[in-house]
């Protein structure tokens, strides 16, 4: 039975109207506006485990998980307790505290490539700082990024970006001076030959190759055979740094991150999302010699009022301690597997061309007859049909990312009942877009 909640989302509609008089576009992050799926944002009242409950009382199986952080399920008692206890001792000191040391130790214990880390407040800050460090360490200015990869709203990286930028079809943002964009070199994802050619011509000017080891901002796009190893080889050959943006894949695809799965060691790693468990925490890190070029030990400046604040640290520590439990990622992967195979079977049953993929708790779907390997493939997917599918799923109580250029996320709280509810809703929703 379709939970036809369109008419009954009256409080959401009312709040959105009020929000548009205050917040730009009624939102604090563009993709939430739902413009890619023709659906005004639904306002959330609260979240619990695998579910979101909107302000009109409707419950949804959450397949976004706050874009990754909610990996242990929303409002996990241990995380809430840790945050409440920390908050009772003050929200932020602007000074050192033990919990930032503990979170740093936890992260370093999971990532052999990291000997030193700097905690910041957003993935954008992490990638921006990593690029600045790479430029300082190499004395070079150019950065290679990949079409369709998104690394936050850093001026120099909002060039052919994915995620919200791709959703709006404005990959190059207004306000980014041409001089900045000129320092960003672009190559198609999963095209080693193109990167090889780019580095042959510009390699001596390139400070870093920045890559999402699994691209999660043009759907779910895994690296092809040899792609990441080619980047490692090219960086070594030309004296550039390999920077893995694991803001999305870090502690989501495996303990530590996808580098521990693929076996490719980056020079710098950016993290975010899961390491804060829903609070604003991100980080960048690498070898001691590289990171000690960052202030106060070195000449590369980077700072942050709320960096390492005790409440966010408590959320991150509590979350990672749950992720570190035996079998966590095997369990999480089995949930992704159950969901993607259910979606695939539901689409196949009615002749909808669907591609699915997953790694750990990160997964994706694409309405395409062939696998998505790069941004051109992602743009060629049926985004109109995805918008219809999105609305049909929302009306059936399933919360998808509001864009075909996003990945999906499950948590350890997504039990078989939650996953099967999503699959049942998909069976009916694929019928809406079936040929």
Give the shortest CB-238-to-ligand KE4 separation in angstroms: 24
Query: What x-and-dash track marks residues 242-261 binding ligand KE4 by CB under 6 A?
Result: ---x-xx-------------
Q: Within 153-182, which residues bind ligand KE4 (CB under 6 A)?
A: 163-164
For the beta carbon of residue 249, count every other beta carbon within 10 angstroms.
Answer: 31
> Residues in contact with ligand KE4, total (CB under 6 A)?
21
Distance CA 271, CA 64 (A): 18
Query: Is the CB of 126 or the CB of 412 nearer to ligand KE4?
Result: 126
Note whether 124 binds ligand KE4 by CB under 6 A. yes
Note whether 123 binds ligand KE4 by CB under 6 A. yes
Tell how far CA 154 is from the center of its chain.
15
Considering only 12, 113, 127, 411, the residue that binds ligand KE4 (CB under 6 A) is 127
Give the shortest CB-124-to-ligand KE4 separation in angstroms: 3
Note whether 129 binds ligand KE4 by CB under 6 A. no
Return the residue matching tokens 């390492």: 308
CA atoms within 13 A on the CB side of 287: 10
Nearest to 243 by CA among 360, 112, 67, 113: 113
Return the residue matching tokens 């049926």: 382
Considering only 29, 84, 85, 204, the residue that binds ligand KE4 (CB under 6 A) is 29
Give the shortest CB-163-to-ligand KE4 separation in angstroms: 4
| Residue 98 three-state SS | helix
Distance CA 103, CA 291 (A): 17
Please classify residue 92 by burial: count the beta carbons closer than 10 Å to its beta carbon, then call 0-12 exposed, 13-18 middle and 19+ buried.
middle
Note whether 399 binds ligand KE4 by CB under 6 A. no
The residues carrying an active-site annotation are: 150, 245, 273
Contact 258, 215 (CB under 8 A): no
Nearest to 273 by CA among 47, 124, 68: 68
Binding segment for ligand KE4 among 119-127, 165-173, 183-191, 296-304 (CB under 6 A)? 119-127
Note whether 279 binds ligand KE4 by CB under 6 A. no
Note whether 31 binds ligand KE4 by CB under 6 A. yes
Note whether 364 binds ligand KE4 by CB under 6 A. no
Give the shortest CB-216-to-ligand KE4 separation in angstroms: 6
Cross-strand pairs, 145? 186
Give the shortest CB-287-to-ligand KE4 separation in angstroms: 21
Give the shortest CB-201-to-ligand KE4 separation in angstroms: 27
Binding segment for ligand KE4 among 85-93, 120-128, 220-228, 362-370 (CB under 6 A)? 120-128
Note whether 220 binds ligand KE4 by CB under 6 A. no
Considering only 69, 216, 357, 360, the residue that binds ligand KE4 (CB under 6 A) is 216
Query: What x-and-dash track marks residues 59-78 binding ligand KE4 by CB under 6 A?
Result: --------x-----------
Cα dihedral angle (158, 162, 167, 169), rounded to 10 degrees? 60
Q: Within 298-337, which residues bind ligand KE4 (CB under 6 A)?
A: none
Please classify residue 305 by burial: count the beta carbons closer than 10 Å to its beta carbon, then call 0-12 exposed, 13-18 middle and 19+ buried.
exposed
Q: Within 280-299, which residues bind ligand KE4 (CB under 6 A)?
A: 282
Note whether 150 binds ligand KE4 by CB under 6 A. yes
Give the shortest CB-299-to-ligand KE4 separation in angstroms: 25
Considering only 240, 329, 406, 421, the residue that binds ligand KE4 (CB under 6 A) is 406
Query: Is the CB of 5 or the CB of 260 nearer to ligand KE4?
Result: 260
Instruction: State the DSSP string of 292-353.
Output: TTBTTTSSB----TTTT-HHHHHHHHHHHHHHTSTTHHHHHHHHHHHHHHHHHHHHHHTT--
Which residues make Cβ contacts (< 8 Å) with residue 331, sequence separation at least 6?
412
Query: Is the CB of 274 or the CB of 346 nearer to ligand KE4?
Result: 274
Distance CA 419, CA 435 (A): 25
Note whether 355 binds ligand KE4 by CB under 6 A. no
CB environment 94-131: b (16+ within 10 A), e (fewer): eeebebbebbbebbbebbebbebbbbbbbbbbbbbbbb
CA atoms within 13 A on the CB side of 223: 21
Contact 305, 94 (CB under 8 A): yes
Note whether 211 binds ligand KE4 by CB under 6 A. no
> Footprint of ligand KE4 on this chain (CB under 6 A)?
29, 31, 67, 122-124, 127, 150-152, 163-164, 212, 216-217, 245, 247-248, 272, 282, 406
């Amino acid at each position: 039975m379709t939970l036809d909640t369109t008419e009954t989302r009256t409080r959401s509609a009312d709040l959105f109207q009020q929000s548009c008089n205050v917040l730009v576009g009624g939102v604090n992050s563009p993709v939430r506006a739902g413009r890619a799926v023709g659906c005004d944002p639904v306002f959330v009242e609260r979240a619990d485990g695998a579910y979101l409950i909107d302000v009109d009382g409707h419950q949804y199986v959450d397949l976004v998980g706050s874009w990754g952080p909610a990996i242990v399920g929303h409002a996990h008692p241990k995380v809430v307790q840790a945050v409440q206890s920390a908050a009772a001792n003050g929200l932020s000191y602007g000074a050192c505290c033990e919990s930032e040391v503990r979170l740093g130790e936890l992260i370093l214990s999971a990532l052999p490539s990291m000997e030193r880390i700097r905690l910041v407040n957003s993935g954008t800050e992490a990638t921006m700082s990593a690029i600045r460090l790479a430029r300082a360490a190499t004395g070079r200015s150019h950065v290679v990024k990949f079409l369709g990869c998104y690394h936050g709203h850093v001026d120099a990286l909002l060039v052919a970006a994915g995620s919200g930028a791709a959703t709006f079809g404005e990959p190059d943002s207004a306000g980014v001076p041409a001089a900045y964009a000129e320092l960003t070199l672009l190559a198609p994802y999963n095209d080693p030959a193109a990167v090889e050619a780019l580095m042959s011509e510009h390699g001596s000017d390139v400070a870093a190759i920045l890559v999402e080891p699994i691209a999660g901002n043009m759907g779910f796009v895994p690296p092809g055979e040899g792609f990441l190893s080619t980047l490692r080889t090219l960086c070594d050959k030309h004296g550039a740094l390999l920077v893995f943006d694991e803001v999305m894949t870090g502690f989501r695809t495996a303990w530590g991150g996808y580098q521990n799965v693929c076996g490719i060691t980056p020079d710098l790693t950016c993290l975010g999302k899961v390491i804060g468990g829903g609070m604003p925490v991100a980080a960048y890190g690498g070898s001691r010699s590289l990171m000690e070029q960052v202030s106060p030990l070195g000449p590369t400046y980077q700072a942050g009022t709320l960096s390492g604040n005790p409440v966010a640290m408590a959320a991150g520590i509590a979350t990672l301690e749950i992720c570190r439990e035996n079998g966590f990622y095997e369990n999480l992967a089995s949930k992704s597997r159950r969901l993607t195979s259910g979606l695939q079977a539901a689409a196949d049953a009615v002749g909808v061309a669907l591609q699915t993929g997953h790694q750990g708790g990160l997964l994706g779907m694409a309405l395409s007859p062939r696998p998505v390997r790069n941004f051109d493939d992602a743009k060629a997917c049926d985004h109109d049909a995805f918008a219809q599918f999105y609305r049909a799923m929302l009306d059936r109580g399933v919360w998808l990312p509001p864009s075909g250029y996003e990945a999906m996320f499950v948590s350890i709280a997504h039990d078989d009942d939650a996953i099967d509810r999503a699959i049942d809703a998909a069976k009916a929703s694929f019928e809406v877009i079936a040929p």
